[in-house]
Amino acid sequence: MNAPLRRVAVACMVLFGLLLVNVNYLQVVKGSAYRDDPRNGRVLLRTYEQQRGAIALGTGGGRQALARSVATGDRLKYLRTYPGGPVYAHATGFFSLVYSSTGIERAEDRILSGEGDELFTRRLSDYVTGREPKGGSVVLTLQQKAQQAGYDALGGRKGAVVALDPKTGAILALVSRPSFDPATLSSHDPAAIRAAYKRLSGDPDEPLLDRALNQTYPPGSTFKVVTSAAALTSGTVDSPQTVVPAPKELLLPQTTRPLRNFGGETCDPSGKQPLINAFAISCNTAYAQLGLDVGQDALRKQAEAFGFGQADLEVPLSTATSVFPADVNKPQLGQSAIGQFDVRVTPLQMAMVAAGVANGGDVMKPYLVREVQAPDLSRLDVAKPEVLSSAVSGDVAKQLTEMMEAVVERGTGGNAKIDGVRVAGKTGTAQNATGKAPHAWFIGFAPAEDPQVAVAVIVENGGSAGSEATGGAVAAPVARAVMQAVLGR
Amino acid sequence: MTAAALPPAGTVTPGPRTRRGTELLLVGFAVLIAVLAYAAVGLAQDDRIPSGTLGYGGGLAALFLTAHLAVRRFAPYADPLILPCVALLNGLGLVLIRRLDYDAIERAKARGRALPGADAPQQLFWTGLGVALFVGLLVVVRDHTTLSRYTYTSAALGLFFLLLPNVPGIGRTINGARLWIRVGPLQVQPSEVSKLLLILFFAGYFVQKRDALALAGRRVLGVDLPRARDLGPVLLAWGASLLVLLGGNDLGSSLLFFALFVVMLYVATERTSWLLLGVGLFVAGSLLAYRVIGHVQDRVDIWLHPFRDASGKGYQLVQGLFGFGTGGISGTGLGEGSPGTVPFAKTDFILATIGEELGLVGVMAVLLLFALIVERGLRTALGCRDPFGKLLAVGLSFALCLQVFVIAGGVTGLVPLTGVTLPWLSYGGSSIVANWVLVGLLLRISDAARRPAPSPIAPDTARAVLEDARTTIVRRS
């Protein structure tokens, strides 16, 4: 009987071998994925055991907490509170027992929870000295006045505001409306959290959606900045003063219905005008023709140089990808050149376009976290501005600035004027769903000679189909309010 | 060990090595680990060494020392590694149940419910009963071959216990499986007892019938098939295990019994054809069960896609997997995790608690302890001189191996989950007691296997002695 017995022994060892291999796979290979799975309540429970770091803005005496943990008497020792409230909700995100976390709460969790590698020595000394471990804090680039101005100026309308420091890429304002109160999702009462979440996620106005970073829209005429950049860079036109055709109607190749200007207006009685004038009054026929002349490859290349098509842009919040459509035919190219058809952009992307022009052609990588700090507020890491891409040459940037100033001075963007400040901008009125009012856009920067702030504003369905100027009328005042707040005027 | 290490000068053959000293040392070590672990749980929970540490440690030490002394006195040549391994597993199991008691109390407090009673004292009681039966077995059964007399009694009792949960009135359905009976205040899982009885039966039966069962029938594709008339018992065993499955949804026991039957038959007859036939019947039975029984389909679906219904049907497995993942390589530390998240953490899913709090290191250590016991058991079978003892030892060792594989593989997602206990670790009186009896049997056979050959004198002389001698009853023990 010993021969089969030996085989049984081998079989037993194989079974144990399989078990050992499997637990190694489970606990080593899959371990971290299971540990960090949002459905795994264990880690979340443990994160409530120690004080989570704060999310703040400002420095020194101006430091203001947007999110902080306060001690409670119940089983979960600390409650997350949001002094920043709905104004900062999309930046901070929420920190929920039931629905995991979003925003900076998620993106900077390793710092806030105190588990990051940066805090290793700190944890070690906490362990040795018996001090209760705490999380580090995260200081945002947001400026309180700019954020509040954008939030108030949008008011009850749906839309978003992004303001950037064009020289560094620091995000000065990040507003999305409607908003929500993160505290309702971050309480210790799962039933209340579920009810609040159900209400928010079921709301047709989508308050949980961060429109500034995660929603894409047709850019409308604000895209003409990109088309102009492509035309000037490629040499299709020599300067803003070059006269270009601007007919009343433009019959695009292979189509029967001509492309018209807003309200069927005439751009210039002569049927042609200098590029700067076509830009200032946002002449569609002139720009559709210009797009055809530039060609889709040059146009797409220019859009990508401003940041379109970059799928992994994180600020560190993840962002939706802005796209210029692939393989368009002639009529589609004409439509794309004026920001219609399938061109889709985030408000952040359009702020980057304005900031790129403002910064002499270099687009800086946008970032929301200025500094991370240890629990004792000592500095662990500070953001270093990086150039994301070089979109246009310094000369072309100057020409674009001149054209954008004309928009505010004497064109569609008059509502963005600020006394004593040279403001550059571009309005947009983007058609979207039929039967709905177009989106109102404004992008711009100020002061034109030494830009301190670049901004993009969208008001969903805020325009009127009749007139291009309405885009400027609705969105430009919001942009002006934010720029004024940054410039202190 | 002591005698063998320094053989007296002039002795030709060294004295037999019993290695009881090694066993005592290792048992002491096992108790020490368990007591330290017990203190660690208390430190993590209340920041102080729990008041019961001394009593607990003393109790465990007394129990396992008694077991060791019984082995020293009544089975001196038995394998010295098996008892310490079992003691360590059992001690660790008690610590884990104590730890889960804390967790249950904390959860009840948080929800404002009545505080649940502690299970650890119960488990300690059952351990005591198990050790008592272990000692009793070593005292009463001096020669394991005498057990072959009870072959058919075992069969009848084994089947009786197996079918008992299906009797209306005393049978209880827990977690979808009908494998419990309720006698007064006690809940008993009779399949644990029938496991032992059926192994006894198989060993006795196959030793008697192995010659007939080994007879070759027709040869097909290079394999000698058994004669058709000998198929009866196999089909009967197959039918019985299917019946257990259909009657009580007891997937684990069903699989265990059939596999035991086939493997013991294979070892007894040395015929691969039985093994192939058994595997064929197993596959057929599995497919049939999968088709017919919704419970089995559920288990397979959960195994294949645990995350599809992570908060419903797959909840238990998924929470278990999260436990293993959270533990990682070194674990959270005893008392530092939240193992109570997993339903049935004290019984079927106790390995997930080990995975979470003791990490990969702890799980591997526990699995290797089991592997060591199984390996020593199979070595006992190899060394055993009589076929009944050989078969019995194979059966006991293989049953242990398969049970560990089924439940450890089930909770780690290697195979579909079937509810059996993890021997000595899981909470449950029947399991603890039955597995202590299993060790008792194994050590009894091991004692016989490792005992020096009875007669060192030459065969010729032996025959002469035998022919001269008067007829007497010879006992080997």
**What confidence tens digit (pLDDT) does each residue in A29-38 have?**
998 888 878 7
Average pLDDT value for residue range A327-332? 85
Does the pLDDT of residue B65 top 90, yes or no?
yes
Residue A98 with chain B: CB contacts under 8 Å: none
A&B contacts, CB < 8 Å: 134
Is the separation of the CB atoms in A336 and A102 below 8 Å? no
Q: A414: exposed, middle or buried (C-beta count within 10 Å: 0-12, 13-18, 19+)?
A: middle
- Span between the terminal Cα atoms of chain A, in Å: 98
Is there a contact between A27 and B414 if contact means CB atoms under 8 Å apart? no
Average pLDDT value for residue range B173-200? 74
Confidence of residue A77 (pLDDT cuts 50, 70, 90): confident
The beta-carbon neighbor of B359 closest among A27, A40, A43 is: A27
Q: Which of A160-164, A276-280, A284-288, B15-19 has the lowest mean pLDDT?
A: B15-19
Distance CA B157, CA B198 (A): 9
Is there a contact between A6 and B382 if contact means CB atoms under 8 Å apart? yes
Q: Which CATH superfamily is domain A220-372+386-487 in?
A: DD-peptidase/beta-lactamase superfamily (3.40.710.10)
Structure confidence at residue B11 (pLDDT): 44
Average pLDDT value for residue range B217-228? 66
Distance CA A476, CA A458 (A): 9
Q: Which of B105, B207, B210, B267 best tests the A interface by mutation, with the highest count of A CBs <10 A?
A: B267
Q: Tell me which residue of B429, B431, B409, B427 sits closest to B418, measured CA to CA.
A: B409
Residue B370 with chain A: CB contacts under 8 Å: 16
Using CA atoms, how far residue A93 sits from A90, A180, B288, in Å, is 5, 10, 52
Structure confidence at residue B2 (pLDDT): 44
Structure confidence at residue A345 (pLDDT): 94
Structure confidence at residue A172 (pLDDT): 95
The per-residue pLDDT for range B148-161, each reduced to its tens digit, is 999 888 888 888 88
Is the separation of the CB atoms in A92 and A98 below 8 Å? no
- Enter the DSSP assignment of A118: G
Q: Is B43 on the interface with A (CB under 8 A)?
A: no
Neighbours of B104 (CB within 10 A): 17
Strand B216-220 vs strand B223-226: parallel, antiparallel, or unpaired? antiparallel
Neighbours of A278 (CB within 10 A): 28
The DSSP element (H or E) to which A245 belongs, if any, is: strand A243-245
Is there a contact between B391 and A37 if contact means CB atoms under 8 Å apart? no
The dihedral through the CA atoms of B316, B318, B321, B322 has a sign that is: negative
Beta bridge partners of B31: none
The DSSP element (H or E) to which B67 belongs, if any, is: helix B53-74
The per-residue pLDDT for range B296-330, each reduced to its tens digit, is 888 889 999 988 887 788 888 999 999 999 888 88
The per-residue pLDDT for range B70-79, each reduced to its tens digit, is 999 999 999 9
Q: Tell me which residue of B8, B116, B96 sits closest to B425, measured CA to CA.
A: B96
Does the pLDDT of residue B455 top 70, yes or no?
no
Does the pLDDT of residue B371 top 80, yes or no?
yes
Does the pLDDT of residue B383 top 60, yes or no?
yes
Three-state DSSP class for residue B383: helix
Is the separation of the CB atoms in A43 and A35 below 8 Å? yes
Distance CA A259, CA A256 (A): 9
The residue of chain A nearest to residue B321, with distances taken between CA atoms, is A34
Is there a contact between B356 and A42 if contact means CB atoms under 8 Å apart? yes
Confidence of residue A175 (pLDDT cuts 50, 70, 90): very high
Structure tokens at B447: 């004692």
The DSSP element (H or E) to which A299 belongs, if any, is: helix A296-305
Residue B318 with chain A: CB contacts under 8 Å: 39
The per-residue pLDDT for range A240-268, each reduced to its tens digit, is 989 888 887 777 777 777 777 776 677 88
Is there a contact between A27 and B268 if contact means CB atoms under 8 Å apart? no
Structure confidence at residue B7 (pLDDT): 43
Q: Is B393 on the interface with A (CB under 8 A)?
A: no
Is the separation of the CB atoms in A309 and A325 below 8 Å? no
CA angle A456, A457, A463 (to 5 degrees): 135
Find the farthest-apart pair of alpha carbons in chain B and give their distance in angstroms, rounded: 83
Is there a contact between B390 and A8 if contact means CB atoms under 8 Å apart? no
Residue B414 with chain A: CB contacts under 8 Å: 18-19, 22
Confidence of residue B10 (pLDDT cuts 50, 70, 90): very low
Average pLDDT value for residue range B42-68? 87
Residue A26 with chain B: CB contacts under 8 Å: 321, 324-325, 355, 412-413
The residue of chain A nearest to residue B272, with distances taken between CA atoms, is A4
Q: Is position A100 annotated as part of the catalytic site? A: no
Q: Is B180 on the interface with A (CB under 8 A)?
A: no
**Alpha-carbon distance B380 to nearest alpha carbon in chain A (angstroms):** 11
Q: Tell me which residue of B134, B123, B113 sits closest to B71, measured CA to CA.
A: B134
C-alpha torsion A359→A362→A365→A368, nearest 10: 0
Give the position of tokens 């001269």: B468
**Alpha-carbon distance A17 to nearest alpha carbon in chain B (angstroms):** 9
Q: In B, residues 95-124, which contact A (CB 8 Å cutoff)?
A: 109-110
* Contacts by residues B279-283 (CB-CB < 8 Å, ≥ 24 positions apart): B281/B234, B281/B235, B281/B238, B282/B258
Catalytic residue among A101, A221, A322, A336: A221
Q: Which of B198-202, B371-375, B462-466 has the lowest mean pLDDT?
A: B462-466
The residue that leads in pLDDT, B366 or A129, is: B366
Is there a contact between A16 and B405 if contact means CB atoms under 8 Å apart? yes
Does the pLDDT of residue A438 top 90, yes or no?
no
The residue of chain A nearest to residue B328, with distances taken between CA atoms, is A27
Using CA atoms, how far residue B336 sits from A31, A212, B99, B215, B321, in Å, is 17, 41, 10, 60, 17
Structure confidence at residue B339 (pLDDT): 86
Structure confidence at residue B249 (pLDDT): 67
Three-state DSSP class for residue B92: helix
Is the separation of the CB atoms in B301 and B314 below 8 Å? no
Is there a contact between B263 and A8 if contact means CB atoms under 8 Å apart? yes
Is there a contact between B375 and A12 if contact means CB atoms under 8 Å apart? yes
Q: Is B405 on the interface with A (CB under 8 A)?
A: yes
C-alpha torsion A105→A107→A111→A116, nearest 10: 140
Q: Tell me which residue of B79, B32, B67 sits closest to B53, measured CA to CA.
A: B32
Does the pLDDT of residue B467 top 70, yes or no?
no
Average per-residue pLDDT for chain A: 87
Q: Is B404 on the interface with A (CB under 8 A)?
A: yes
Structure tokens at A302: 């220019």
Q: Which of A64-73, A427-436, A461-470, B342-351 has the lowest mean pLDDT?
A: A461-470
The residue that leads in pLDDT, B75 or B186, is: B75
Structure confidence at residue A135 (pLDDT): 84
Does the pLDDT of residue B461 top 60, yes or no?
no
Q: What DSSP assignment string belongs to A414-452? A: GGG-BTTB--EEEEEEE--STTSPPEEEEEEEE-TTS--
Is the separation of the CB atoms in B393 and B379 below 8 Å? no
Structure confidence at residue B12 (pLDDT): 45
Q: Which residues contact B235 (CB under 8 A, 6 or more apart)?
A: B281
Using CA atoms, how far residue B350 sits from A17, A219, B100, B128, B353, in Å, is 20, 58, 9, 21, 5
The per-residue pLDDT for range B80-93, each reduced to its tens digit, is 999 999 999 999 99
Is there a contact between A13 and B371 if contact means CB atoms under 8 Å apart? yes
Structure confidence at residue B460 (pLDDT): 58
The torsion angles phi and psi of A423, rounded to 5 degrees, stand at -110, 135
Is there a contact between A40 and B387 if contact means CB atoms under 8 Å apart? no
Average pLDDT value for residue range B341-370? 92
Three-state DSSP class for residue A57: strand
Distance CA B393, CA B143 (A): 14
The residue of chain A nearest to residue B325, with distances taken between CA atoms, is A31
